[in-house]
Amino acid sequence: MEIEVTGIRKAYFRKKVLTDITFSAEAGSCVAILGSNGSGKSTLLSILAGVRGADSGSFFYQGSDLLRHPGQIPKVLGYVPQGDPLLEELTAWDNLRMWYDRKTLKRELSEGALRLLGIDSFLKTPVRRMSGGMKKRLSIGCAVVSRPGILLLDEPSAALDPVCKENIRAFLDVYRKEGGIVLMATHDAQDLELSNACYILRDGMLHPWQYDGDFHKLVANL
């Protein structure tokens, strides 16, 4: 199963942010999107996630244009924005219980995605006392409750320590092997090593980039 994004456009007060976003991705693949601050990366992901509307364009998955049927999006897509959508006064367990039934939650913590993310090690910790890495892993855990076929990640590795990054990458490896599609906006060179395709978002359009390990050259082209 693949996704096909075609002709997505978005403007704010006549300022064009996205002028013609077109790309596709196959099951089991990871697409990395890079760009300078303000280039529209977060806007693009939020449109694909159904959080905000596009002026035009389509987003096909399983034979359906999700932009025309936004009610289907939560069933097939998980979205983790830059800001962690968690309740600060609650523990990790309590946040997860807002998404998971008790039986499923215990299973995922013992042998599933939540175990891979290492969330079982800080279940009783209130969100307000968590590190950035804990919050990010918990946010991902909440986002994959429906076992979505698509996962959107906005800067998943930003300001995280190596252990947290490794937990997230271990999860993404398994997620992709099971046929999931990952779309991520990132500035982390290590994230690019996970990707099958890399695009630079510039002037409202996606430009394919063949990453050869030279991150400085890549930055120079943003």
| Phi, psi for 3 (deg, rounded to 5) | -110, 150
Q: Where are the domains of the chain?
A: 2-220
pLDDT of the residue at 166: 86
161 or 40, greater pLDDT: 40
Q: How confident is the model at residue 163 (pLDDT cuts 50, 70, 90)?
A: confident
Stretch 167-176: mean pLDDT, rounded?
A: 91
**What is the tens place of the pLDDT at every residue in 137-153?**
999 999 999 999 999 99
3-state DSSP assignment of residue 176: helix
CATH class of the domain comprising 2-220: alpha beta
Contacts of 65 by beta carbon, 8 Å cutoff, 6+ apart: 58, 59
Instruction: Provide the mean pLDDT of the chain.
Output: 91
Terminal Cα distance for the chain, rounded = 31
Q: How confident is the model at residue 198 (pLDDT cuts 50, 70, 90)?
A: very high
Contacts of 102 by beta carbon, 8 Å cutoff, 6+ apart: none
> pTM above 0.75?
yes
pLDDT of the residue at 220: 67
3-state DSSP assignment of residue 101: coil
Tokens (6 digits) for 160:
């995280």
pLDDT of the residue at 1: 67
